[in-house]
Amino acid sequence: MSQGPDVSAARRDTEALEAGQLRLLLDVGRFFNSTLEFGQVLDMVIDKVIEMMRAERGCVMMLSDDGTDYHLVRARGLGHNEIQADGFSFSRNLVRQVFETGQAVLANNAMKDERFKAFASVSLHNLRSIMAAPIIIKGRTAGLIYVDNRIQDGVFKETNLVLLSAIANQAAPAIENARLYAMKKKIILCLANAIEAKDLYTRGHVERVCLYSMAIATELGLSAEDLADLEICSFLHDVGKIGVSDAILRKPGKLTDEERLEMQRHSALGESMVLPIDIPGRVKLAIRQHQENFDGSGYPDGLVGEQIHQFARIIAVADTWDAMTSDRPYRKALDRDRAINELRSAAGTQLDPKIVFAFLEVLDRGEESLVQLQITDTTNRIAL
């Protein structure tokens, strides 16, 4: 017995919807995993959810480290406008219910829903269409995605709730990876601060070298992944100086041959210090090589040209520029024009001429300090 046209059409519509949702989830997964920056991941999650669900507002909430409370970490409205935490009204009881039960919630009109009659905040904030889905990380509800519409009833359907829950499952590993990456960056920043604490005269050197390195890399068109690794490398390039005597680091005059040899140990020592750390191998390699010269006269291995990792060649230019334009115990900073001439002179001997040229282009536009550093930005903005 054949099925009628209405049944066949309904089945085709259902299959098309399911196929569309599957494609959408695959795209969302790739989208969420395109960056490790915590703030960017949160923005991607909430913007995508608002767009897909046609919600008025949305937010991501995360459980505190001690597991006793939750806090709103990102809230957005239509048009990707950011909403401050104290300006985002919601039912705390409803949110607490999701955290405690680990179950998603859907309400077509929360103010008339028997489940929420005891929640005075639902009526107080005029909450109508609501959806919330838990973010499960390592078997516990670590956060949730919340969307609502305070104007219309019945905006969300059961199919939307299923899709929101699937998106929350996709977001969970991306959020956890970004959180761990942010934590790693904080550790890196602590190491960088420990380096500078040994030599107060060069305070700010690490961050300036990082700024210049990122400006050069951007000018060269390096990828987002390269930029992220280079940022870590530039913050840690002098980590080996922790093992150098304070008397040598702070000596106002010329170093003796013996002192110079001890100072030159810092690049290889730096590599050995970061070997146990879970950072990319090329970052560790460039830390070792950042004192190599383009013509082979550097240390510790006397490498030539492109035998030296690109990150190390970039950092060498940034490091040289900062050394020339900063006051040191043994001399005052060079003026900008003289430093530029010195940089040109070093191209092809100490420094890679292609990278020097790229930095000169940046300097010509006055853009050497305009790049926003993700490490310091992440440390300032993220508290989990």
- Name the band, by pLDDT with cuts 50, 70 and 90, for residue 286: very high
Whether 185 maps to a domain, the answer reads no
Give the model confidence (pLDDT) of 56-67 as tens digits.
888 899 888 777
- What mean pLDDT, rounded, does the chain reach? 81
Weakest-pLDDT range from 30-39, 54-63, 165-174: 30-39
Residues of the chain with pLDDT > 70, as a percent, come to 80
Query: Is the pLDDT score of 27 beyond 70?
Result: no
Total domain count for the chain? Answer: 2
Specify whether 348 is located in the same domain as 296.
Answer: yes
Residue 234 lies in a domain: yes
Which pLDDT band holds residue 4 (cuts at 50, 70, 90)? low
Residue 38 lies in a domain: yes
Residue 337 is assigned to a structural domain of this protein: yes
The mean per-residue pLDDT over the stretch 180-209 comes to: 75
- State the alpha helices, DSSP H only, in 81-137: 92-101, 120-124
Asked if residue 120 and residue 63 are part of one domain, the reply reads yes
Residues 172 and 275 in one domain: no
Q: Alpha-carbon distance 313 to 85, whole Å?
A: 43
Same domain flag for 321 and 365:
yes
Residue 192 lies in a domain: no
The predicted model scores a pTM of 0.62
**Distance, C-alpha 14 to centroid of its chain:** 39
Query: How far apart (Å, rounded) are the C-alpha atoms in residues 236 and 188?
Result: 7
Shared domain for 28 and 159, answered yes or no, is yes
Q: 209 is in which domain, residue-wise?
A: 199-381
The predicted structure's pLDDT at residue 384 = 35
Kindly state whether residues 135 and 268 are assigned to the same domain. Answer: no
Shared domain for 229 and 159, answered yes or no, is: no
Both tokens of 305, joined, read 């040209």
Asked if the model's pLDDT at residue 244 lies above 60, the reply is yes
Residues 214, 92: one domain? no
Give 116's contacts (C-beta < 8 A, 6+ positions apart): 91, 93, 94, 107, 110, 122
pLDDT at position 324: 93
Least confident stretch, 97-101, 111-115, 147-151, 237-241:
111-115
- Reply yes or no on whether the pLDDT at 379 is more than 80: no
Last residue of a domain, one of 179, 211, 240: 179
- pLDDT, residue 115, reads 73
Residues 369 and 307 in one domain: yes
How much of the chain is in helix, strand and coil states, percent to nearest 5? 60, 10, 30
* Inside any domain, residue 143: yes
Residue 158 included in any domain: yes
Residue 381: pLDDT above 50?
A: no
Which CATH number characterizes residue 57's domain?
A: 3.30.450.40
How sure is the predictor about 357, in pLDDT bands with cuts at 50, 70 and 90?
A: very high
For the segment 73-90, the average pLDDT, to the nearest whole number, is 81
End-of-domain residue from the set 179, 211, 238: 179
- Picking from 150, 179, 208, the residue at the C-terminal end of a domain is 179
Residues 80 and 43 in one domain: yes
**Quick check: is 249 in a domain?**
yes
Domain check: are 211 and 349 in the same one? Answer: yes
Whether 205 and 351 share a structural domain:
yes
